[in-house]
Amino acid sequence: MDTSVAAIASWNFLEECPIPEDVTPLLVPEERAIAAYKTFRDSAVFTTKRLIMRDAQGLRGKKVEIYSLPYSAINMWSSENAGTLDMSAEIELWTRAGHIKINVGKHIDVRRLDLLIANAVLRSS
């Protein structure tokens, strides 16, 4: 399998954070938020059904674009822990929409994040 495909999206998770209250109106019945990660301008929220990426745009961040990735769209993923000289880890997702790369900050346990994805993807299939 050729894994050298360029990512259609590249996200940076800086640290785990409280689940933003304004994500609740986005959830469907029987969906609940599990974990959230701070990004440069906003957050990524893992729910029981999907990954929601919120991307604030513009100078004041009033325009918000929301990406919603259902776990059923994920075909494969990989995780790479930080090395001795390389302080960041990464997660890569191969989806029906394309390839997504997530850079994981040094304060995030990449193995916990990998388990979160595994539980979400494997339970949704």
The alpha helices in 1-125, defined as continuous H runs, are 110-124
The pTM assigned to this predicted structure is 0.84
- Do residues 49 and 31 touch, judged by C-beta distance below 8 A? yes
Q: How confident is the model at residue 125 (pLDDT cuts 50, 70, 90)?
A: low
CATH number of the CATH domain containing 111: 2.30.29.50
Mean pLDDT score, 30-43: 91
Mean pLDDT score, 64-77: 92
- Residue 27: pLDDT above 70? yes
> Which residues constitute the domain of residue 88?
9-124
Residue 61 lies in a domain: yes
Q: How confident is the model at residue 3 (pLDDT cuts 50, 70, 90)?
A: very low
**Three-state secondary structure call for residue 111:** helix
Residue 43 lies in a domain: yes
Q: How many structural domains is the chain composed of?
A: 1
